Amino acid sequence: MQIITSRRVLRAAAACASLVALVAGVIGVPSSARADGLPNCPVVIAHRGGPSVAGVENAPSIWRNSLAQGFLNIEVDVRFTSDGVPVIMHDPKVNRTTNGRGYVSRKSFAKLEKLHIADGEKVPQLLDVLTDVSQAHGYVMFELKVTPSAPQWTTIMDELASTGMTNRVIVESFLLKPVVQAQQRGLFATHIYSRPVPDAWGLANANSELVRWNDVTPEFVDAMGTNSMFSYATGIAPSAEATVWSSLLFNNVAGILTDDPSGLTEWEASHCAADSTASMVKQIVPDVSGLSISDAVSALNSAGFNNVVVQNPDGSLIDELTDLFDPSAQHATLAAGIAGSRMSVTEPVVVFTQDN
């Protein structure tokens, strides 16, 4: 196994690894070419839970139907009630999707719970989708439409922990602050971006990018380097879908957010190779600050990291892993270490380095 000891060498090795990196040890980027010449398929992500039925979106019936069909990557939108409950709702007002009127943020959960969406279901909570997807062993990408307060973040983290989904979510937002806050809490986060020029802030600060399909260009991909890029290819006419998907496959996106998961899956079957080991979310490195080497390695092994290298830039062993786990600083080193060692997504390598 190749051991990489400096951040500079890590970056160089990562740049040479053909977009098959694992970003922060979390996201599998299924874009490497196989021996038969087919690229690995981007992960299919069901937008707003899956295809809308009779105007119903972001609803339990929708994401449960997606899960039943084998689409295990579910995307939803999150807002907060006046008493801080995270609920699944795209719009700031309930008017379009329920039998009520008014702003989500001005209604208590008790009042919101009395409303119904188009098919008679109640407005779901974030906890509902986390529970269902956890039971299906799937993954959730949820968009924070607003910046959560500290108590609201506490609720989110508690719900993730109670459902075993902490390491199986991607937090997404157009807003910068929630992306930073999510990463500070050890969650994987992606900045949503919709301009045809590379996102300087996102490239410097976010774990990954979620880019509008028509803004994904070779130049943008080059600027991304070893960072993961997802793309939202939504609201597209069926006649144009194949052209859009072809472009995104050519540009090596990690995953495609789509209104048509069935159609995209069928298309991928003849255009790329399904990677059974790829998932939207892989692993978050556990906090092993202050542990002995042996205890830290045991904790990492339990989390699925089976190859752990612990050393200083000069090659000497780190006796304690104290203060190495600043979420805002560790990701680039871990990602590059994994990419440089060229290990597969099923056998990640964690390379810890102590900066001087």
Pairwise pLDDT comparison (348 vs 24), residue with the higher score: 348
Are 159 and 170 a contacting pair, CB within 8 Å? no
pLDDT at residue 145 tops 60: yes
Given the structure tokens 């500079």, which residue do they identify? Answer: 8
CA distance 167 to 17: 25
Q: Is 169 helix (H, G, I), strand (E, B) or coil?
A: strand
Q: Are 49 and 58 in contact (CB under 8 A)?
A: yes
User: To which CATH superfamily is domain 44-271 assigned?
Assistant: Phosphatidylinositol (PI) phosphodiesterase (3.20.20.190)
At 105, the amino acid letter reads: S
Residues of the chain with CATH 3.20.20.190: 44-271
Give the pLDDT band of residue 308 (cuts 50, 70, 90).
low
Residues 46, 32: Cα–Cα separation, whole Å: 23
- φ, ψ at 28 (rounded to 5°): -80, 125
The band of 277, judged by pLDDT with boundaries at 50, 70 and 90, is low
Say how many CA atoms lie within 13 Å of 282 toward its Cβ: 27
Q: How confident is the model over 315-336, as pLDDT tens digits?
A: 444 443 333 333 333 333 333 3
Q: Which residue has the higher pLDDT, 285 or 140?
A: 140
Helix (H) or strand (E) holding 46, with range, is: strand 43-46
User: How many Cβ atoms are within 10 Å of 284's Cβ, its own excluded?
Assistant: 18
Query: CA dihedral defined by 55, 233, 180, 31, rounded to 10 degrees?
Result: 140
The reported pLDDT for the residue numbered 304 is 54
The pLDDT, as a whole number, for residue 293 is 60
Structural contact between residues 208 and 190, judged by C-beta atoms closer than 8 angstroms:
yes
Q: Name which of 48, 50, 60, 54 is nearest 123 in CA terms.
A: 60
pLDDT at 299 over 80: no
Residue 146: its pLDDT value, please? 96
What letter represents residue 222's amino acid? Answer: D
Whether 112 and 123 have beta carbons less than 8 Å apart is answered as yes
Residue 290 is predicted with a pLDDT of: 62
pLDDT(226) > 70: no
Q: Give ∠ CA 271-276-277 in degrees, rounded to 5.
A: 125
Phi, psi of 336 (to 5 degrees): -70, -35
How far is it, in rounded angstroms, from Cα 231 to Cα 10?
Answer: 27
Q: Which tens digit of pLDDT belongs to each residue from 20-31?
A: 222 222 233 333
**Conformational region of residue 174, where left means phi above 0, alpha means psi within -120 to 50, and beta covers everything else:** alpha
CA distance 242 to 262: 13
Among 213, 207, 212, CA closest to 225: 207
Q: How far apart are CA 74 and CA 168, in angstroms?
A: 11
